[in-house]
Amino acid sequence: MSNRFRSANWLAKNGYAPQVFLFRNLESGQVLYSQLPTFTDYQIKTQFQRPNWQNKRPSLRRDIWRLMAVVDCDTYEGSVKLYENLVQLRSMRDLTLKDVAMRFRPRNKDGNIWYSAQFRPIYTQEAVADLATSIENAQTKSKIHWEDEWRKGEMSNWDGNLVTHESIDRVALQTPKALLEELKEKAKVEFNKLKTVDVEEQQQSQQTV
């Protein structure tokens, strides 16, 4: 299902929640964004456009991808915008603003980006920074479920009015499929609640007018 870009309407019609999913690669630390709780070659092709020896195009092996974060948005449009922003920022880091991105990366004493074999922790840290930027740009109220709250970094990086943080239960992480299903249902309930509140507010304002 996640083999092409999905619009807000499509997501709502097909029973998905307004969510964005971040998966991290255990071997390399690279991060993959997805609109759906699954990912295919489509995401890899769009998000790793110029692979090189340091930033190899990752494989689809399911065992080396782990859930890193799930973002619940307040609207479907918001979630789509958030996803678009994330992908755009990824291409900026890899293509258009590569020199800026390279300057941000901390170096070891030999002048190389810190690594251990194929693993570079900087990719995850960049993805977290991009997530913060994307949420601010999309101006969508969101709740981030972290696999490990350690990753969210200093709270000063996050817009307190837009973002709330939660951590995922450690035991639930061992069954990701059931966990994602549960998060989806919760997000849908939350979305419907917000929708009814909005409708009621609109009706009240119409009555007063």
Footprint on this chain of another protein (rule: CB under 8 A): 85, 88-89, 92-93, 97, 100-101, 104-105, 122, 125-126, 128-130, 132-134, 136-139, 148-154, 157
Contacts for 109-118: CB closer than 8 Å, 24+ residues apart = 113/54, 115/54, 118/27, 118/28, 118/56
Q: Considering beta carbons, is residue 38 or 137 the nearer one to another protein?
A: 137
Q: Which amino acid is at 94?
A: D
Q: Considering beta carbons, is residue 6 or 152 the nearer one to another protein?
A: 152
67 close to 180: Cβ distance less than 8 angstroms? yes
How far is CA 190 from its chain centroid?
19
Q: Considering beta carbons, is residue 70 or 138 the nearer one to another protein?
A: 138
* Cβ 165 to another protein shortest distance, Å: 9
**Cα distances (angstroms) measured from residue 92 to each of 12, 81, 83, 191:** 29, 16, 14, 31
Q: Considering beta carbons, is residue 136 or 182 the nearer one to another protein?
A: 136
* Cβ 109 to another protein shortest distance, Å: 12
* Cβ 75 to another protein shortest distance, Å: 15
What is the rounded distance in angstroms from the CA atom of residue 137 to the CA atom of residue 18? Answer: 17
What is the rounded distance in angstroms from the CA atom of residue 35 to the CA atom of residue 147? Answer: 17
